[in-house]
Amino acid sequence: MAGQTLTIGKALNLGLRRAMEDDAKVVLMGEDIGKLGGVFRITDGLQKDFGEDRVVDTPLAEAGILGTAVGLAMRGYRPVCEIQFDGFVFPAYNQIVTQVAKIHARSKGTLAMPIVIRIPMGGGIGAVEHHSESPEAYFAHTPGLKVVAVSNPVDAYWGIQQAIAHPDPIVFLEPKRRYWEKAEVDPDATPEPLFGSRVVRGGDDVTVLAYGPMVKTALQAAQAAEEEGRSLEVVDLRTVSPLDLEPVFESVRRTGRCVVVHEAAVTLGLGAEIAARVTETCFHSLEAPVLRVGGYDTPYPPSKLEEEYLPDLDRVLDAVDRSMGF
């Protein structure tokens, strides 16, 4: 089959479709995902083709969605739960961190939890309160969970299938303001491993790390820096738990500098963990401290102010300037 140009949203739709075709135990659950096809239309057409038993419109009850998914997983199904918006996941937080993450260990390996929790993450769409959160650190800090953050259609298409086939529970983060970004996807290609980072732009002066919606911002910063004579290497982390940092260490040993970018607030965000590990492993190669660029330590602001809150090209370049100044 020839490759085709897909948005991230369409790539996820086709990836879900292929997973459902390959395994009759895959069941989709979520609010308005059936007849409506989801708020972002990611599940559009799937209930029509697979039926209401496999694409289930649930009540507005995230704890109930995840609690039901736990029971289904115990009976051999592979539930894929859609959380409509990132800020809506917290009613299900108890189920996720005390049940989903721990049952495999608690049962000494007897019970598997092949559950995928799809969460549209991040801001930038002009939404109201509770619609623009970045909750990845809560889940990455929880042993027993794996956390994937895709940034492009290729990773979206293959990543959702790999996550569904994986035996462990996975929080699958989708960059909602990038749903309409396009790229060519070859359904006959050999996908990269799910839990691996990737250098998406080579460079020599500073290593810039990002995941999810911030990868595009980092690439834009690299393009702007090139016009000023600076060479930024951009690494898409792709998975934030487990972190694949060997390519990062290799890059930092060459550049001597590192900037980590994410939308979530800087304090105790993923950047802190990454900075610690890079410093521990690459201490003698560093020419400057590892710097972090992220959201401010405030609740996510009203939509008219979100452009002031979200890290942008200028804030990334400012961190690059500070790094080069040491």
Quickly list DSSP for 191-211. Answer: PPPTT--EEEE--SSEEEEE-
Helix H or strand E encompassing 105: helix 103-106
CA distance 103 to 231: 46
Residue 31's contacts (CB-CB under 8 Å, 6 or more residues apart) are 57, 58, 59, 60, 65, 82, 84
The distance from CA 212 to its chain's CA centroid, rounded to whole angstroms, is 5
CB 114 within 8 A of CB 73: yes
Instruction: Determine whether 135 is exposed, middle or buried from the number of CB atoms within 10 Å of its CB (0-12, 13-18, 19+).
Output: buried
- Of 104, 131, 166, 262, the active-site residue reads 131
Quickly list DSSP for 249-270. Answer: HHHHHHHS-EEEEEEEESTTSH
Residue 131 is a catalytic residue: yes
What are the percentages of helix, strand and coil residues in the chain, rounded to 5?
Answer: 40, 20, 40
Beta bridge partners of 78: 26
CA distance 280 to 149: 24
Residue carrying structure tokens 């109201």: 128
Instruction: Determine whether 221 is exposed, middle or buried from the number of CB atoms within 10 Å of its CB (0-12, 13-18, 19+).
Output: buried
Would you name the residues annotated as active-site residues? Answer: 131
